[in-house]
Amino acid sequence: MTEDVRAHRRRWGTFAVLAAIAALTILDVSKVGVALPAIQRSTGGDGTTIQFMLVGYTLAYAVTLLPAGRLGDIVSRRRMFLIGCAVFLVASVVCALAPDILVLVVGRLLQGAGAGVLMPQVLGLIQRIFPAEERAKPLAALAAIIAATSLFGPVLAGVVMELVGGAESWRALFWINVGVGIVVLPIAIIVLRDVPSERRRGFDLVGLALLVPAVLLAVGPLSAISQSTPPSWWMLAATSTGLVLAALFVMHEIRRSRRGRQALIDPRLLLVAHVPTGVLVSGFMYAAGTAGTLIVTVSLQQVAGLTALQTALWMLPGALATIAASWVAARLPQRATYRLIAIGTGLGATGLLALSLVFGTLPTAALPIAVSLLLISTAFGSGLSGPPNQARTLAEVPEYRASVAGSLIQFSQRVGSAIGMAVALILYYGLGSAPTFAGRPTLGTTVALAVVAAFLLGATLIALLDTTRTRRRALETEPALSTSR
């Protein structure tokens, strides 16, 4: 066996370890959605607390991503990855043993923080261990794994809860993390090799002090809105304060970068080709994907009366469609897959709009099969668009900014997920008691899925504009290239 073959296998072995842990962090967003009714019955939590238990994980995930990405670039990506894994696994034990809803909420916040620490290092390490000519494949593969995991989450949760049985079956979902972590973490300690960053300069404490409250205040109040907690003046005040702090954060980052000092978000990254559009597309895609899966999962149980296992089985074809679409995308030339970003998001938006109409018009008995069929097209679109978007976004990012660039993408995804879930749950619970054309109280589901589809339409528009601009630039430079020859 040649040295090149050994190095190739070592790189992909390391990738497998990184991808397994990354999949766990995404799994904890989607699989808990299936368990929401069981958790509420078991812990006695009200709608507001249950929503914050779900959205709080994503918020904690989001606020730790950027500082953790910067620390990975400064200190050690391997060390930050292992710290994040340890925090995530300890928090999973806390969630599994939680005696009440408040302890569960605290455990979920810690889980999110651990996930936010480790995830930027995953993308940063992949950027560093794979040479530039090979990098698109692992990045696309990671995006495909994450997309498939997000859709397989409800399936896994339904099967596990059915096998365990009982009112406390939801606790097994957190023990899954512990079991996988016990196997994967020692392997990670052995196989991960840290490649030090080429540039090691200061940490932006002021930016961190502005970023954390900006995200929590801007998005957090949305998760508090429920049937038992209607919108109020303090929510508007908190959200407004968060938006002001976000503006101050952006101005601070620009000023710090102009002075030649390292920022949490280097504004120069937004000048790299496809980074700003890719980040926006990722945010919209995850707002739609996470919220759409959550609403469909909960609605099949509460509207169609399915069990967790039945819900999982009806959603299984959609998860398989994601894998099939990712396989198709991986077989096409890299530049050809970039066109799939707009095609996939457009297909997903169409599927979500159709799901909205299905819940509002079809009889209850016909819902499961109709939803399952439409989820296939929606999930197929997700599998087509996710991997090429991530690969394109990171394709021209300098290696020494790999962790921060990766954390920026993850940040947009997590904030998008938090906003998407919060908005969808507000509409679902707020309008859930109103009837639709079918006479069932499913107006909340119908409107929530329509709004979620609008997120994907936004992603489609951005991707189309980026593709058009890229083609125009290529046409403008082609005559000059021909002349130079």
Q: What pLDDT sits at residue 335?
A: 63
Share of the chain above pLDDT 70, in %: 86
How many domains in the chain?
Answer: 1
Task: Give the pLDDT mean for 455-465.
Answer: 90
166: left (phi over 0), alpha (psi -120 to 50) or beta: left
Whether 479 maps to a domain, the answer reads: no
Q: Is 158 within 8 Å of 309 (Cβ atoms)?
A: yes
Q: The domain that contains 220 carries what CATH number?
A: 1.20.1250.20
Query: Is 14 a residue whose pLDDT tops 50?
Result: yes
| 102 compared with 383, residue with greater pLDDT | 102
Residue 320 lies in a domain: yes
Q: Which of 347, 337, 338 is nearest to 381 (CA)?
A: 347
In sequence order, which ranges of 231-307 are alpha helices (DSSP H)? 233-258, 275-302
pLDDT band at residue 483 under the 50/70/90 scheme: very low
How much helix, strand and coil, in percent to the nearest 5, is found in the chain?
85, 0, 15
Distance separating the N- and C-terminal Cα atoms of the chain: 43
In a domain, 484, yes or no: no
Enumerate residues 6+ apart whose C-beta is below 8 A from 476: none
* Mean of the per-residue pLDDT values of the chain: 80
pLDDT for 196 equals 57
CB 89 within 8 A of CB 181: yes
Query: Which long-range contacts does 254-258 make (Cβ < 8 Å, 24+ apart)?
Result: 256/204, 256/206, 256/207
In a domain, 322, yes or no: yes
Task: Please give the residue that has the higher pLDDT: either 473 or 414.
Answer: 414
Please check whether residue 81 is in contact with residue 118, taking contact to mean a CB–CB distance below 8 angstroms.
yes
Check residues 370 and 49 and name the one with the higher pLDDT. Answer: 370
Q: Report the C-alpha gap between 143 and 256 in whole angstroms.
A: 32
User: Does 406 fall in a domain?
Assistant: yes
Which residues neighbour 435 within 8 Å (Cβ) at sequence distance 6 or greater? 441, 442, 443
Higher pLDDT, 372 or 482: 372
> Do residues 404 and 412 touch, judged by C-beta distance below 8 A?
no
- Residue 482's identity, in one-letter code, is S
Residue 340 belongs to what domain range?
Answer: 3-193+206-473
Residue 67, both tokens: 């500082």
Q: Is residue 454 part of a domain?
A: yes
With 90 as the cut, is the pLDDT of residue 453 above it? yes
How confident is the model at residue 293, as a pLDDT? 84
CA dihedral 222, 226, 232, 234 (to 10 degrees): -50
Q: What is the C-alpha to C-alpha distance for residues 444 and 56, in angstroms, rounded to an integer?
A: 22
Place of tokens 């997000």: 150
- Other Cβ atoms less than 10 A from the Cβ of 422: the count is 25
pLDDT digits 0-9 by tens, 55-87? 788 888 888 888 887 788 777 888 889 999 999
pLDDT at 480: 44
Q: What is the pLDDT of residues 337-362, one digit of tens each?
A: 677 888 899 999 999 999 998 888 88
Q: Who contacts 216 (Cβ-Cβ below 8 Å, separation ≥6)?
A: 59, 63, 242
Structure tokens at 110: 């810690």
The residue type at 1: M
What is the biggest distance separating any 2 CA atoms in the chain, rounded to whole angstroms? Answer: 74
Whether residue 485 is contained in a domain is answered as: no
Residue 433 has pLDDT above 70, yes or no: no
The span from the CA of 364 to the CA of 399, in Å, is: 53
pLDDT tens digit sequence for 371-382: 999 989 888 888
Residue 400 corresponds to which tokens in the numbers above? Answer: 């020494």
Per-residue model confidence as pLDDT tens digits over 317-337: 887 888 788 777 767 766 666
- For residue 105, is it within any domain? yes
Numbers of helices and strands, H then E, in the chain: 15, 0
pLDDT at 436: 65
In this structure, the number of other CB atoms found within 10 A of the CB of residue 434 comes to 12
How would DSSP label each residue in 113-179?
Answer: HHHHHHHHHHHHHHHHHS-GGGTHHHHHHHHHHHHHHHHHHHHHHHHHHHHH-STTTTHHHHHHHHH
Contacts of 383 (CB under 8 A, 6+ apart): 144, 147, 148, 321, 322, 323, 324, 325, 326, 328, 329, 344
Average pLDDT over residues 31-49: 77
Q: What is the pLDDT of residues 139-192, one digit of tens each?
A: 777 877 777 777 777 778 888 888 887 778 889 989 988 888 888 888 888 888
Neighbours of 270 (CB within 10 A): 12
Q: What is the pLDDT of residues 210-242, one digit of tens each?
A: 888 888 888 777 766 665 566 677 778 888 898
Fill in the DSSP letter of residue 307: -
| Mean pLDDT (whole number) for 37-47 | 77
Q: How wide is the angle at C-alpha 381 spanned by C-alphas 379 and 386, nearest 5°?
A: 95
Using only C-alpha atoms, the chain has a radius of gyration, in whole angstroms, of: 22
pLDDT tens, residue by residue, 98-129: 888 889 999 999 999 999 898 888 877 887 78
